[in-house]
Amino acid sequence: MQKALVWLRRDLRLYDNAALHHALKESKQVWLAFIFDTEILEPLRKGDLDDKGLKHDRRVDFIWQGLKQIDEQLRQLGGGLIVRFGKPTECIPQIAKDLGVDAVFANHDYEPSAIARDDNVRASLEKIDIQFLDFKDQVIFEKKEILTNSNTVFSIFTPYKNNWLKTLQEKDLSAYECSPSLGEYAAIPKKLDAPFPSLESMGFCATSIETYLPPGSEGGQAFLEDFLSRIDQYQIGRDFPAIKGVSYLSTHLRFGMLSIRGLVREAHRRMLAGSMGATIWLSELIWRDFYFMILANHPRLAQGASFKPDYDNIAWESGATAKKLFAAWCQGKTGYPLVDAAMHQLNQSGYMHNRLRMVVASFLTKDLGIDWRWGAAYFAEHLNDFELSSNNGGWQWASSSGCDAQPYFRIFNPITQSEKFDPEGKFIRRYLPQLDKLSKKSIHAPWKAGHIELEAAGIKLGRDYPLPVVDHDEARKKTLVRYSVVKKIS
């Protein structure tokens, strides 16, 4: 092969990249391209715009800055990154034709819309006698690589994990060599070497995400090094949102700025050395593979179907009341401090602690009685690390409608969750400063505080902080009735 084009998507790195490795191995000249997909970005521009008509979306800015890093690295090696704003189904075949490449290399995606896109691109390339070659890269095991003894797809996590670990070999974690000598990255022809489309030209504004989430592989490596210095305590600190207990690597992993093989290699090595923290973290990484596998084998989930079809018979709250309750949840005004603080964290930063994702999802579905799809859509719009498979899996787990989900009668109590995982109220005080003067006992349920304490703290419920929008005990009873339609199958 003489010439190749590598189409970057959610693999924004120049190391340990399967498609890039194979392109460099098979071709004498290699170019790289990224397309800001208008079909993905246009829906993101719905909603509130700034006074210039631009949308604030941290993820687009994060990707844009990460691509700048890649372009700079490629320029130093004699190449460069071709970036376009348009439809990949049109842009990729045109770029490939203009470059005169023999093949386009890319890594697998598992979402139905992405699969349809790739099929479209493949068909267009075939018409101009250009190959489309794709590879496994963003997971360790994909599709039907891990099966039950009867050759069926797993639906329960623990046996899947056990089989995953049993199947794992050193070759599955080996890094793909992507270190070319100078000249293998071909210079971009002048007619194609256009400037990056600016954020503004695509309808987006710059954000401050880089101040707390440095983009690119450089930012990801810095975060990884920090996490590895405390990974042995992961199992202790991961449930407490007020402390630095988790990895904070999910956004870099989601956009492929870090290699999943590298992360699993570190976790697995430390697990074998006896680290309980690494063992638990590895399990979380396997959950990610599990949800990718579930989506790949059950594409109907991408359309909002429950994994357990009978759970689609649940009658969720609707009408004006449901919309009002949902708005209170979105805005962090439910009157339950841990829930509200978590939603403020999400709205302010695009991040939410994993324990709190379970808490707020349980609260929305089982305290407010609102369809899990509403919450999943809100997360999809606001989470920096949003990916369809994990988001869908997490929400269906919380609502008991998914594979290996919590039982329908397990309903998180937002007060006891708060007392257990934020005992001093430090996380709550960070995001709800109006409650700062409450005692560590009262801060979890301000409406239970005495009149004297509230007055001393300068708090008037209903004015400075909302009264609870629902009573948890009453809501729990309603939820058990609501779920009674599926009681016999759970």
Report field, pTM of the whole predicted structure over 0.85:
yes
Q: How far apart are CA 32 and CA 95, in angstroms?
A: 10
Check: CB of residue 30 under 8 Å from CB of residue 129.
no
Average pLDDT estimate for 111-119: 96
Residue 369, by phi and psi: left (phi above 0), alpha (psi -120 to 50) or beta? left
Res. 489: pLDDT tops 60: no
Q: Which of 219-233, 263-277, 395-409 has the lowest mean pLDDT?
A: 395-409
Q: How far apart are CA 458 and CA 451, in angstroms?
A: 11
Query: Over the stretch 448-467, which tens digit does the pLDDT of each residue have?
Result: 999 999 999 999 999 999 99
Look over the chain and give the mean of its residue pLDDT values, rounded to a whole number: 95
Q: Hey, which bits of 112-267 come out as E strands?
A: 131-135
Q: Which of 26, 111, 145, 284 is catalytic?
A: 284
Res. 488: pLDDT tops 70: no
Whole-number Cα distances in Å, 75 to 30, 79, 198, 321, 476: 13, 5, 19, 56, 59
Beta-carbon contacts of 232 under 8 Å, excluding residues fewer than 6 positions away, are 270, 275, 276, 277, 278
Q: Which of 297, 316, 317, 447 is catalytic?
A: 316
Q: Which of 7, 31, 64, 372 is catalytic?
A: 372
Average pLDDT estimate for 159-163: 97
Average pLDDT estimate for 214-230: 97
Query: Over the stretch 187-216, which tens digit does the pLDDT of each residue have?
Result: 999 999 999 999 999 999 999 999 999 999
Query: Over the stretch 314-352, which tens digit does the pLDDT of each residue have?
Result: 999 999 999 999 999 999 999 999 999 999 999 999 999
Is residue 316 flagged as an active site residue? yes
Average pLDDT estimate for 418-435: 97
Tokens of 261: 């093989």
Res. 392: pLDDT tops 70: yes
Query: Over the stretch 162-188, which tens digit does the pLDDT of each residue have?
Result: 999 999 999 999 999 998 875 699 999
Q: Which of 64, 164, 281, 287 is catalytic?
A: 287
Nearest to 387 by CA among 225, 256, 227: 256
Average pLDDT estimate for 396-406: 88
Q: What is the pLDDT of residue 48?
A: 85
Q: In the chain, what are the domains? A: 3-137 (3.40.50.620), 139-175+217-297 (1.25.40.80), 309-484 (1.10.579.10)
Average pLDDT estimate for 130-156: 97
Q: How far apart are CA 483 and CA 400, in angstroms?
A: 10
Q: Which of 26, 354, 381, 413 is catalytic?
A: 354
Q: What is the pLDDT of residue 1?
A: 84
Whole-number Cα distances in Å, 339 to 322, 333, 336, 405: 17, 9, 6, 21
Q: How far apart are CA 158 and CA 163, in angstroms?
A: 9
How does residue 487 score in pLDDT terms, banded at 50, 70 and 90? low
Q: What is the pLDDT of residue 183?
A: 62
Is residue 354 flagged as an active site residue? yes
Query: Over the stretch 345-374, which tens digit does the pLDDT of each residue have?
Result: 999 999 999 999 999 999 999 999 999 999
Beta-carbon contacts of 16 under 8 Å, excluding residues fewer than 6 positions away, are 175, 176, 178, 259, 261, 262
Whole-number Cα distances in Å, 7 to 83, 89, 200, 217, 268: 10, 12, 23, 17, 30
Q: What is the pLDDT of residue 490?
A: 44
* Residue with the larger pLDDT of the pair 486 and 434: 434
Is residue 374 flagged as an active site residue? no
Average pLDDT estimate for 388-395: 96
Is residue 284 flagged as an active site residue? yes
